[in-house]
A and B are shown apart, each in its own frame.
Chain A
């Protein structure tokens, strides 16, 4: 199973959102005690939730088709897939427009080969390059030799059994059965293609933003800055990726609830003096959706986005929205719409980390505390916050990680405590850098220096943590019963904690 799927939910829960929304939205429901209006608001909320869910689900489908590759893969093809580029080394699918005939994906690293699907019948065209054949051979696990001459055909059974099935002219099902992973793709109704174009546009923006980081900064540094803002795991160089995993800070470069929280808070603060509360509410919702699209609409981001959206809707109606209930509703809805998420590791980790944060996380965030008097005190508080957050999130994700990856990162608590406070700093500097770079590259260069300094230091520290002896310990045969046992213990602990509090009061 791919280890890149780890994406812990980090930092704070929705406390920050609640605090902000409290100040802005409480007056909506003031004086409205009419029951009928509550019913109308209920329907309103249900509709919005449904639209968001439908929308997010759709983008989720698109995402699996885009396979994190961004621009070059055309969304039109999703509606009528013709050419599928299959990259055997990484076991992924690529799509392209059959008519353009151009080179499709500049970022394909390994070799690939080209299938063309006819209408109703599957037809296989000649692969592009001689090197593809050897890869094909390695797929069918036979030995390859140097300078193999042209193949004239590819075993069509390979296609029909494993990769692609074309059913009718308009309806195409693509089944990829690698590592027991199954993807179904159906033809989408044309009315929804507007949404796909919208998604395409956000992907273009995403790619542009990454390019403006890459304009000055080296690859690792720009991917870190970009990943902190929008989440980006896949394009990391292999070596760097392993460093991040071994030191247990890979969640930093995965978009998560923290990012969504920041988006909500930013919009709320910008529109603080704006009096039309409902407009602000709608703008915030739109902001969440746009951010989710920009962040690639991965299951963990969707979960965070839906939770944030629900919180805002609930607050605008003056209803309480405890984070645990929100999480439960969100998870259930997402699972109802696409049940396959239950085996999605990134989704599981995201949900379990959020549970941990809600139950055991620090109650308030640094941003809302009264300023500590001394610098030393502030540092102490920040570190304490980091440690508490990572402890709370790890408590619930650790059993899963141990059982699935058979690996235990010992250093992760220390590395998270040391590094987590950098994340907001990188965020701020990156945003300013992006704005400056948009104005002129030379102004961007001025800000590239501090950004380079922070990110380089960050990467260095990550490398140091990852290469420490005993940074992560392999555990060959963890028993599955670890998961239920540890979860029971944690829940008991939570109940006990509450009782303790009550006793104190």
Chain B
């Protein structure tokens, strides 16, 4: 009997050691563009700290998360949802099912689509505090090496409806503040949270689903600087990614989150031409699977799963 106990505990300890070794985090931070079909999900990992930007349309995001996050870590330090479209927030309820989210950044939407209602329902249920964000804010993710930070470029402050929690009164608050929101005249896509994510000294431009009008507005703020990687806006839709915006950002690599044979025809040929004419290397989740970016000091290593 004692022999059996010894053997069992030995096996358990061995498997724990093996798992910790096998799933040890990368010494330098990693950025992963998850393949979630038609939608965006970007995961930044530094040590045991994770930042998730958008969650894709459905539970497919969980495959990506469980592949790159060790299974005993049930906490995501920060989740940022750029805007309230299904292909960006649809996976949130599945994320919240398994993971505890420490900081949740989301500018509330006045749209009343099913997806938003559903998200609202989940947030109410889980009682999660919401933080708003707007132009000029700097968000630093509390990693061990302090090597991940985010500078917000968009949207403007007066266009953001501020509330720290979804509550029963939220609906009435909406109607009160609708005037302000409408004066901005931005729809959900146009007011996506955009910003520059700095990981280990490498700049990644996150664009959400902004269209050309918002891009021009960002250009007018003169806050946009040279970046290394761009997450191509709106999955490469023809209404986004103007040439002047790309010329200003000067990225070398473009990443696009699209689904195979999607019904919208993303990414459009115009965007493809815009990117290829400027010698930007493009990675697409439908062709490359998960896109894993390892930002180094002198080089960026990109590995894909397909």
List residues of A whose CB falls within 8 A of some B CB.
Answer: 103, 106-107, 109, 128-129, 131, 134, 138, 144, 146, 214-221, 237, 445-450, 452-453
Partner of B62, one of A103, A134, A146, A219: A219
Bound complex: CA of A128 vs CA of B264, how far in Å? 19
- Give Cα A6 to B67, complex, Å: 27
Nearest to A432 among chain B residues (CB) is: B8
Among candidates B11, B63, B72, B93, residue contacting A237 with C-beta atoms closer than 8 Å: B63
Query: Residues of B contacting A109 with CB < 8 Å?
Result: 58-60
> Is the beta-carbon distance between A218 and B67 smaller than 8 angstroms?
yes
What is the CA–CA distance of A220 and B66 in the complex, to the nearest angstrom?
Answer: 9
CB–CB A452/B264 < 8 A: no
Interface centre among A106, A216, A446, A452 (most CB of B within 10 A): A452
When the two chains form their complex, are residues B19 and A103 in contact, meaning their CB atoms are under 8 A apart? no
- In the bound complex, how far is the Cα of B67 from the Cα of A450, in angstroms? 17
Evaluate contact between A103 and B118: CB separation under 8 angstroms: yes
Interface residues of B (CB under 8 A from A): 11-12, 15-16, 18-19, 58-60, 62-63, 66-67, 71-72, 74, 86, 93, 98, 113-114, 118, 121, 263-265
**A452 adjacent to B263 (CB under 8 Å):** no
**Closest CB in chain B relative to A16 CB, distance in Å:** 24
In the complex, are the beta carbons of A447 and B12 less than 8 A apart? yes
Q: In the complex, which of the residues B19, B121, B264 contacts A453, with contact meaning CB atoms closer than 8 Å?
A: B19
Q: B15 touching A450 by the CB < 8 A rule?
A: yes
B58 to chain A: which residues have CB within 8 Å? 109
CB distance from A237 to the nearest CB of B (A): 6
Query: Which residues of A have CB within 8 Å of B15?
Result: 449-450, 452-453
CB <8 Å contact, B265 and A146: yes
Q: Are B12 and A446 in contact (CB under 8 A)?
A: yes
Chain A residues contacting B18 (CB-CB under 8 Å) are: 453
Query: Which residues of A have CB within 8 Å of B66?
Result: 218-220
Question: Nearest residue in B to A454 (C-beta to C-beta)?
Answer: B15
Asked whether A452 lies within 8 Å of B19 as measured between CB atoms, the reply is yes
Given the complex, which residues of A lie within 8 Å of B19, measured CB to CB? 449, 452-453
B63 touches A449 (CB 8 A): no
Given the interface pairs A216-B72, A218-B71, A450-B11, the reply to whether A106 lies near B93 with Cβ below 8 Å is yes
Q: In the complex, what distance in Å separates the CA atom of A107 from the CA atom of B93?
A: 11
A445 to B72, CA, bound (A): 7
Q: Report the Cα distance A214→B265, complex, angstroms.
A: 35
B263→A448 contact, CB < 8 A: no
- Quick check: A448 and B71 within 8 Å, CB to CB? yes
**CA separation between A415 and B74, bound complex, in Å?**
34
Which residues does chain A contribute within 8 Å of B12, judged by CB atoms?
446-447, 449-450
How many whole Å from B11's CB to the nearest CB in chain A? 6
* Cα–Cα distance between A449 and B263 once the two chains are bound (Å): 42
Say how far A412's CB is from chain B's closest CB, in angstroms: 25
Determine the chain A residues whose CB is within 8 A of the CB of B11 once the complex forms.
450
Contact residues in A for B263 (Cβ distance below 8 Å): 131, 134, 138, 144, 146
Q: Whose C-beta in chain A lies nearest to the C-beta of B266?
A: A146
CB distance from B185 to the nearest CB of A (A): 19
Asked if A219 and B63 sit within 8 Å, CB to CB, the answer is: yes
Most chain B beta carbons < 10 A, residue from A219, A220, A446: A219
Contact residue among B59, B67, B72 (Cβ-Cβ distance under 8 Å from A107): B59
In the assembled complex, which residues on chain A have CB atoms less than 8 Å from the CB atom of B59?
107, 109
Interface residue from B67, B71, B93 paired with A217 (Cβ < 8 Å)? B71
Residues of chain B within 8 A (CB-CB) of A216 are 71-72, 74
User: What is the bound-complex CA distance between A107 and B91, given in angstroms?
Assistant: 11
Other A-B contacts than A218-B71, A450-B11, A452-B15, 5 sampled, CB-CB below 8 A, are A129-B113, A129-B114, A215-B98, A216-B74, A453-B18
In the complex, which residue of chain B has the Cβ closest to the Cβ of A237?
Answer: B63
Least distance between B119 CB and chain A CB atoms (Å): 11
Q: A109-B58, A449-B15 are in contact. Are A214 and B71 (CB under 8 A)?
A: no
Shortest Cβ gap from A84 to chain B (Å): 18
A215 to B99, CA, bound (A): 9
Partner of B264, one of A146, A217, A448: A146
How far is B67's CA from A221's CA once the two chains are assembled, in angstroms? 11
Task: Quote the shortest CB–CB distance from B279 to chain A (angstroms).
Answer: 29
Question: Which residue of chain A has the shortest Cβ distance to B306 in the bound complex?
Answer: A239
Residue on A with the closest CB to B66? A218
- A106 to B67: give the CA distance in the assembly, Å: 22
Q: How far is the CA of A155 from the CA of B81 in the complex (A)?
A: 38
In the bound complex, do residue B16 and residue A449 qualify as a contact, i.e. CB atoms below 8 Å apart? yes
| Closest Cβ–Cβ distance, residue B2 to chain A (whole Å) | 19
Could you name 25 residue pairs across A and B whose Cβ atoms are closer than 8 Å?
A103-B118, A106-B93, A128-B114, A129-B114, A131-B86, A131-B263, A134-B263, A146-B265, A216-B71, A216-B74, A218-B63, A219-B62, A220-B66, A221-B71, A237-B63, A446-B12, A448-B71, A448-B72, A449-B12, A449-B19, A450-B12, A450-B15, A452-B19, A452-B71, A453-B18
Chain B residues with CB under 8 Å of A220's CB are: 63, 66
What residue in chain B is nearest A217 (Cβ atoms)?
A: B71
CA distance A107 to B58 in the complex (A): 9
Q: Which residue of B lies closest to A107 (CB)?
A: B59
Give B65's nearest chain A residue, CB to CB: A218
The 6 lowest CB-CB distance pairs between A and B, nearest first, are A218-B66, A453-B15, A449-B15, A450-B15, A449-B16, A134-B263
List residues of chain A with CB within 8 A of the CB of B74.
Answer: 216
Kindly provide the distance from the CB of B208 to the nearest chain A CB, expressed in whole angstroms.
Answer: 19
Return chain A residues, CB-CB under 8 Å to B113.
Answer: 129
Residues of A within 8 A of B72 (CB): 216, 445, 448
Closest Cβ of chain B to A425, distance in Å, is: 11
Residues of chain A contacted by B67 (CB below 8 angstroms): 218
Give every chain B residue within 8 A of A144 (Cβ-Cβ): 263
**Residue on B nearest A134 in the bound complex, by CB:** B263
Residues of A within 8 A of B62 (CB): 219
Closest B residue to A222 by CB, please name it. B66
Among A215, A217, A218, residue most surrounded by chain B Cβ atoms (within 10 Å): A218
> In the complex, what distance in Å separates the CA atom of A453 from the CA atom of B10?
14
A219 to chain B minimum Cβ distance, whole angstroms, is 6
Query: Which residues of chain B come closer than 8 Å to A221, judged between CB atoms?
Result: 71
* Shortest Cβ distance from residue B289 to the other chain A in the assembled complex, whole angstroms: 9
Residue of B nearest to A446 (CB): B12
Query: In the complex the two chains form, what is the Cα distance from A237 to B62 in whole Å?
Result: 11
Chain B residue at minimum C-beta to C-beta distance from A450: B15
Q: How far does the alpha carbon of A339 sit from the alpha carbon of B168 in the complex, in Å?
A: 54
| Cα distance A214–B263 in the bound complex, in angstroms | 32
Q: Please give the distance in Å from A200's CB to the nearest CB on chain B.
A: 22
B90 to chain A: closest residue by CB? A109
Contacts of B114 in A (CB 8 A): 103, 128-129
In the complex, what distance in Å separates the CA atom of A340 from the CA atom of B59? Answer: 34
Which of B11, B15, B62, B98 has the largest count of A CB atoms less than 10 A from its CB? B15
A109–B91 Cα gap in the complex (Å)?
10
A109→B36 CA distance, assembly (Å): 11
A129 to B63, CA, bound (A): 26
Alpha-carbon distance between A447 and B121 when the two chains are bound, in angstroms: 34
Q: Which residue on B lies nearest to A445, using beta carbons?
A: B72
Which of the listed residues B16, B19, B71 has the most CB atoms from chain A within 10 Å of its own CB? Answer: B71
